[in-house]
Structure 1
Amino acid sequence: MTDWPSAFFEQHPAFSPIRRFLALFTAPPDHTDWQSLPVVAHSRSGAPIRFVHSDSITEYYELAIYQHGQVATRLNWHDTFNAMIWHAFPLSKSALNAMHQRIICANPDSKIRGAARDAATLFDECGLILPYSDPQLLQMLEQHQWHELFVTNKGQWGKQIGAITFGHANFENLLNPFLGLTGKCWPIAVERDFFALDIAAQCAQLDENLAHLIDADWLQKPRQLPALPYLGVPDWHPEQDLHFYENTAYFRPKRQKLG
């Protein structure tokens, strides 16, 4: 991480949730830069969230966040984008951390992470929030009707359905994209006027909704999060011609159940 592609961040729609935070910097931030920013989030223990050198932490990653607000942050793209998501979705990130804390404390001697923690980690790393006002569009995604979702209904993206990046690994991958990139999405039903809001207001509304669902233990297993080949989202990839969408190795059809 030696350069800071401000023009790319400004132009690529996937970076819209964190763009206003990326704009705070003109070069890759270090720990001094992070410490200079106002606190935007707290752990559920009340500790202010700070992004600190990983070598300064002696506890397990999630416990250090919950107890002390210390987020181990290496000076690389992966952890930089994680810090950005803490700024964009502070309630949801705190709720995910509290979820890990609850499960760990309920089973302190277990070395098994379990399905719920696996799902939380998948969403944290490669998740996308999928606000939608038309259930038919969600059904297309669930049925892997990719041509209908991305091509036939291209004009509905940003009007009745959207993809808002949450997983910090997705941002890292989009710096050097390759066919095969797939995220796990969390569909959230919204009113149609949601899409008239600016991105900050959209993120704030989704942040509250997600935090509530996480606190209610809605997330129990990875299968609850449908797959999304996100290079197919309109304008997220430069080569979105019809041939691109015909690639069934990437846009995989729905697997038929036997029997």
Structure 2
Amino acid sequence: MAEGAAGHAGSPRRFVPPPRAAVDPAVFDHPLFARVRAFRDLLSGDRWPTVAELDARLALRGRRLVEQDAALLADGLHYETRIAQGRIATRAASWHDLFNALVWACHPQLKHALNRRQCLHVATMPTGQRNRAQAALTQFDETGVIVCVQDDALIAAWDAHDWPMLFAPPHWQAGRITIAAVFGHALMEQALLPGRLLVGKCVVVRGDDEGACIETVARAIEQGATVTDPLQLRPLPLAGIPGWHPQQDATFHGNADYFRPLRQGRLYPPPLLPR
């Protein structure tokens, strides 16, 4: 849950979410929120659930949500180390931390894998310093998306940033490429404002079973076989997915500030293969 993840094209400034009362509940109908929709009652309405209420509702196995206050932070522990000891520091009345808690409930295997890898690096790095693997793990935690792809031609199009080919509706309608999970809780927070041009940082799996793809990514992270460098993560302009943005007209993919051309020399790893 590192702070300040970007994920929005052309906007390096920290995102300020809208007040809870200003969020239209209809925003949660967007496919980006599909995995957390079972907790819609926690997302709608003027009243924030307290951290204690959220902890009781989610009942995370082996972890507790604890309110982040001065008394908690006085232990001096690193955020990830505290999680490994069973406590997830959670700010009250925070969209960011609410979505983080919901992702813990929906994808515990992924969250545990990320935490274990982070703790391995925390133990070897000087205080206040992070290596590239930690940066990659944080980016995936904040803005991660898991994508299942069955068609090699679509991988080639993504490799080349051929966005019109990648986002052609027939590929998505036929299931040749699917979103297995929007994992990043910062993406969910930013999607509270409809129409934003969000960019997911993706791990790709060759397959069509979304559950198996998610398990493959969790296992690969656990083994240190993926998300070890930020450059491994494929950018995906999420507004290009058919039906994910209201303005997908004939000129939409011409916005080069969002649908960016491939940077010279940029290479992506091949998709993971499920076992």
TM-score (norm 1): 0.83
RMSD of Structure 2 on Structure 1 (CA): 2.2
Q: 2:185 matched to 1:168?
A: yes
Which segments of 5 or more consecutive residues in structure 1 lack a partner in the other structure? 42-47, 195-201
Contact between 1:49 and 1:71, CA under 8 Å: does it hold in 2?
Answer: no
The alpha carbon displacement at 1:178 in A equals 5.6
Structure 1 runs (4+) greater than 6 angstroms displaced: none
Does the alignment pair 1:7 with 2:23?
no
Q: Which residue does 1:247 correspond to in 2?
A: 255
Distance 1:25 1:12, change over 3 A: closer
Q: Pairwise mapping of residues 75-94 of structure 1 onto structure 2 (< 5 A)?
A: 75-94=93-112
State yes or no: 1:70 paired with 2:88.
yes
Any conservation in 2 of the 1:115–1:221 contact (CA below 8 Å)? yes
Q: Aligned pair in 2 of structure 1 residues 250, 25: CA closer, same or farther (>3 Å)?
A: closer
Q: Please tell me whether residue 209 in structure 1 is matched to residue 216 in structure 2.
A: yes
Q: Secondary structure at the match of 2:85?
A: helix
Paired amino acid for 1:88: C
Q: What does the per-residue CA deviation read over 1:102-144, in whole Å, with 9 as the maximum and x for residues that have no partner?
A: 111234x354200100000000111111111112212212210
The alignment covers a number of residue pairs equal to 238
SS in structure 1 opposite 2:20?
Answer: coil
Structure 2: which 5+ residue stretches go unaligned? 1-18, 267-275
The alignment status of 1:142 with 2:159, answered yes or no, reads: yes
2:37 equivalent among 19, 23, 31: 19
Matches within 5 A, 1:104-253: 104-107=122-125, 109=126, 111-150=128-167, 153-157=168-172, 159-163=175-179, 164-177=181-194, 180-191=197-208, 194=209, 202=210, 204-218=211-225, 219-253=227-261
Amino acid at match of 1:123: F
2:195–2:245 contact (8 Å) kept in structure 1? no
Shift in Å, 1:234: 1.2
- Partner deviation per Cα, 1:153-206 (whole Å, 9 max, x = no partner): 312215111233111111111111565522211111213xx2xxxxxxx3x434
Which residue is equivalent to 1:197?
none
CA distance in 1 between partners of 2:43 and 2:202 (Å)? 29
Q: Which has the larger helix fraction?
A: 1
Q: Which one-letter code corresponds to 1:250 in the other structure?
A: Y
For residue 72 of structure 2, what is the aligned residue in structure 1? 57
Q: Which moved more, 1:60-69 or 1:83-92?
A: 60-69
Which piece of structure 1 moves more, 132-141 or 235-244?
A: 132-141
Identity of aligned residues (%): 33
